[in-house]
């Protein structure tokens, strides 16, 4: 059975995506009397091979239970991208297993994973849980995040850091672009945890304290995780540029974790700058003072 919150997410997502798709995109005439932005409900229903009334019930948050096949037909009718299709199926209860049983919030990092990160001496690396809490890290990670060991509770969360830590906002080059992508990725993950108060704690804090997050969260955009390049303007070292990768690993209790690795790009002097930064005996206290 779908919760009220989950039905609300489905309804809002469908309305936004229906308004986005113009009739000429699918070969329908626009006509002169069309008042609805995008497609009409009956047009989506016809394309999906379901009744208009039944589709309307979905957008009206009625207590209906769509099958996976039906949601896939609706996704095809709305021309959803792969990430959007995955999101709709997850909202309908056909996605990865929810973390509501507590395993996600109690994720454990194995000693082997910690040793692996420690071997990446000049490459910042950290492991995050389901809602992007930073569970473990290496010394090089403090170049980016500051003194993680001094942070407590939700402060040691990657998304909290991105939006509410002035250090990250000032250092990260093209902050807005990366922050928008982060919100879209979080929205995709959140579909598994809509009814989980632990996960929603993070969403509530960000909505209350970050106007940018609140605005982008309301757009209901979703995006799959991807590798890429990030640049930082470090207060001591200047420009640092990293190739980053996100790897899925299993936690000590079987929970799914993410290993984030930053490797200095080969066409920059980032590696040399990292060696210099980490060579200072008092580096951790220096990072903590700016965290």
Sign of CA dihedral 278, 261, 221, 160: negative
Tell me which of 201 and 108 has the higher pLDDT: 201
CB-CB neighbours of 28 under 10 Å = 15
Q: How far apart are CA 282 and CA 291, in angstroms?
A: 14
170 and 205 together in one domain: yes
Would 96 be classed as within a structural domain? no
Where is pLDDT greater, at 30 or 146?
146
pLDDT of res. 280: 65
* DSSP E strand stretches across 196-276: 228-234, 238-250, 256-264
Domain assignment of residue 54, yes or no: yes
pLDDT of 255: 78
- The tens digit of pLDDT for each residue in 251-280 reads 777 778 999 999 999 999 999 999 999 986
Residue 242 and residue 147 in one domain: yes
pLDDT range class, residue 101, cuts 50, 70, 90: low
187 and 264: one domain?
yes
Which CATH number fits the domain that encloses residue 232? 3.30.450.180
**How many domains are there within the chain?**
2
Q: Please give the helix or strand (H or E) that residue 59 lies within, else none.
A: helix 52-59
149 and 54 in one domain? no
Tokens of 30: 């626009």
Look at residue 100 and tell me if it is in a domain.
Answer: no
In a domain, 265, yes or no: yes
Residue 240 lies in a domain: yes
Rounded to whole angstroms, the Cα distance separating 249 from 33 reads: 54
Do residues 75 and 85 touch, judged by C-beta distance below 8 A? yes
Whether residue 218 sits in one domain with residue 250: yes
Residue 101 placed within a domain: no
Q: 87, 46, 50, 42: which is closest to 69 by C-alpha?
A: 50
128, β-bridge pairs? 134, 258
Which tokens go with 176? 């807005």
pLDDT at 32: 60
Rounded CA gap, 135 and 45, in Å? 45
0.85 cut: is pTM over it? Answer: yes
The domain of 29 spans: 4-91
**Are 77 and 116 contained in the same domain?**
no
Mean pLDDT (whole number) for 88-117? 81
Domain boundary among 91, 126, 153: 91
Q: Are residues 23 and 151 in the same domain?
A: no
Query: Are residues 115 and 64 part of one domain?
Result: no
| Mean residue pLDDT across the chain | 90
- Domain shared by 278 and 227, yes or no: yes
């Amino acid at each position: 059975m779908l919760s009220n919150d989950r039905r609300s997410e489905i309804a809002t997502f469908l309305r936004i995506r229906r308004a986005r798709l113009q009739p000429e995109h699918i070969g329908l005439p626009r006509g002169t009397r069309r008042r609805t932005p995008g497609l009409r409900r009956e047009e989506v229903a016809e394309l999906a091979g379901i009744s208009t009334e039944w589709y309307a019930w979905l957008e009206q948050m009625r207590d209906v239970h769509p099958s996976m096949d039906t949601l896939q037909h609706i996704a095809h009718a709305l021309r959803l991208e792969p990430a959007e299709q995955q999101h709709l199926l997850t909202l309908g209860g056909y996605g990865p297993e929810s973390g509501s049983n507590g395993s996600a919030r109690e994720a454990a990092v194995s000693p082997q994973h910690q040793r692996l990160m420690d071997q990446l001496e000049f490459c910042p690396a950290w492991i995050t849980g389901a809602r992007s809490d930073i569970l473990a890290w290496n010394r090089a990670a403090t170049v980016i995040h500051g003194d993680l060991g001094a942070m407590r509770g939700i402060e040691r969360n990657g998304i909290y850091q991105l939006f509410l830590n002035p250090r990250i906002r000032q250092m990260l080059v093209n902050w807005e672009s990366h922050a928008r992508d982060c919100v879209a990725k979080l929205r995709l993950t959140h579909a598994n945890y809509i009814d989980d108060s632990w996960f929603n704690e993070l969403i509530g804090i960000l909505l209350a304290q970050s106007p940018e997050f609140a605005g982008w969260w309301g757009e209901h955009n979703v995006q799959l995780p991807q590798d890429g390049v990030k640049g930082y303007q470090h207060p001591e070292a200047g420009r640092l540029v990293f190739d980053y990768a996100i790897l899925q690993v299993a936690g000590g209790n079987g929970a799914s974790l993410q290993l984030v690795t930053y490797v200095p790009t080969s066409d920059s002097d980032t590696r040399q700058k990292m060696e210099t930064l980490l060579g200072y005996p008092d580096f951790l206290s220096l990072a903590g003072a700016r965290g």
